[in-house]
Structure 1
Amino acid sequence: MYCLLNPSFLAYFSFLFMYHFPILHIAYSYSFLYLMSCAKSHSYNIEQYEAERDLRSDRGRGVDDEPLETDTLKLTDNSETDSFRSCFLSWFFLWHLIWLSVMQLRHYFFIGTLNPMLNRLANQDPDIVSEYTNAFAFTQFCGVLCAPWNGLLMDRHKRKPLDPGVSEREADLHSSVLSLLLTSLQCLLFSICASIPILPLQYVTFILQVLNRSFLYGGNAAFISIAFPARHFGKLYGLVMSLSAVVSLLQYPCFALNKVLGGDPFYVNIILTVLTLLAFIHPVYVFLHCREMETSMY
């Protein structure tokens, strides 16, 4: 028994049965590399391996110099000839600027008059005002949870293949119509709820406000990246934010008018609600543009 367990005997026994191993060559070609990989495994047969090796050798000798399909797509996507001036003077940029500026002005006026409005509706009760102020602050934190929803809405078409003859940019532009329309509708409902002087209704106003704000600024950057060349994104984004900030200075005349009306923001809210209807022009224009592109294909 000790002899059977002796290491030298085990080594000799293994040597005797080496005829089970390949003698002349292994199962794969000599150039095949046996490596350990932690990535996802790929199954190859010998025909696939030989075909890929021949293709690599032909490319090395310069036989296959034709560009790959991915290279062609990159060249097509990068052939953007629109100048910054043409983008700035386009109807897309104008209506998008109005879309952003009107809703941003509505948000600024609501936040600026929130505390006086709560004091007015709560009959100057500090406990009730504190309760609603805390609720508003909590809903602002929930904006982090609302932000991805707009992205999921705009990327819903990427789960299915593109229609024949439709580019990815055209599909993205068509998908942005619903996002723009829903953002405008959210702002209209938020403005209507803010105009109604009912205190418990302001909980709904807070939810609509933070939801609309998340859709507004996320959709702003997404639409600029879709509708305009990528090389102009930084300039156009900075320009639209700067111009919308200039438009938001109209909140100070609104504050002055609200003071003249005795601190009651009802009439100013009605004016801003009517002004919010201008935001619906943008999604309608983009929809008509997409439909015109579809009809021109046939």
Structure 2
Amino acid sequence: MGSINLFRYLFFISFYCLQTISKAPSPVAQGYDCSDIWERNNAATSGIYTINPRNTTFRFPVYCKMSKNGGWTLIQKHNGEDALDFFKTWAQYVNGFGNLLGEHWLGLKHINAMTHQTDRPCKLRISLGDFSGAEAYAEYGSFTIGNANNFYKLSAKNYSGTAGDAFLGSAKIPRHNQHGSYFSTWDNYHDKCNQRCGLTDIKFQSCSQLYEAGWWFNACGLANLNGAWHAAPEHLYWRSYVSWPSWRNLESLKFSEMYLIHSQKN
């Protein structure tokens, strides 16, 4: 085969492969969520799966943590290993960002879909670790977030665990209570800051600008697992930090992980 014909042949093969890849169908959904995947196959191992929650017309990849007791869908991981910046726009928080095998935020539209499945109630499990090696958890037996029209409003009820209910904050200070709060980002905020939030004479228009993260702020509350990550020993007394103060106050955590755990309604 001449060099020109060989070149044409290789070009055709490359073009055909590219076209085939671009037209390849999306992965088939393997379940409604990670709990459902485990229910279908108790031997399923941890990794990335494609899910299609009930009542939705779209599917998307997630990281599933599988154990002998069930499957958990990871919706947030923040541990500094990827140096991922969580100070993102509204669109990025809606659609998700980061690496499913590392630090990431799954996306508000995906979390909303998973928390509104017919006959599949879910709970939120938050796993936390500090730089001393200690770990704790907070679990909310009933968890949903609203849709885009009501700014993904937080509903987290029936707390249990060892880390405390940092969403509630101080019961004596109503503005610390983040239960029922809307989600906010620096470019689309729905908190109660009202241009008066700040730790000094410098005032901010939103809690998201003040704490450099997207979150369910009130005015502004205390919990903020999407805050800036800081390594030890420089992990104390920051304005923006990975915060769950009902467990570790004014101390940026080594890691946070947020999971959804579903069950089949009887």
Structures share a fold, TM > 0.5?
no
With CA pairs under 8 Å and 6+ residues apart, which has the higher RCO, 1 or 2? 1
**Max radius of gyration: which structure?**
1
What range is the shorter-chain TM-score in?
under 0.3
Q: Whose helix fraction is larger, Structure 1's or Structure 2's?
A: 1
Normalised by the length of structure 2, the TM-score is: 0.24
Q: Whose strand fraction is larger, Structure 1's or Structure 2's?
A: 2
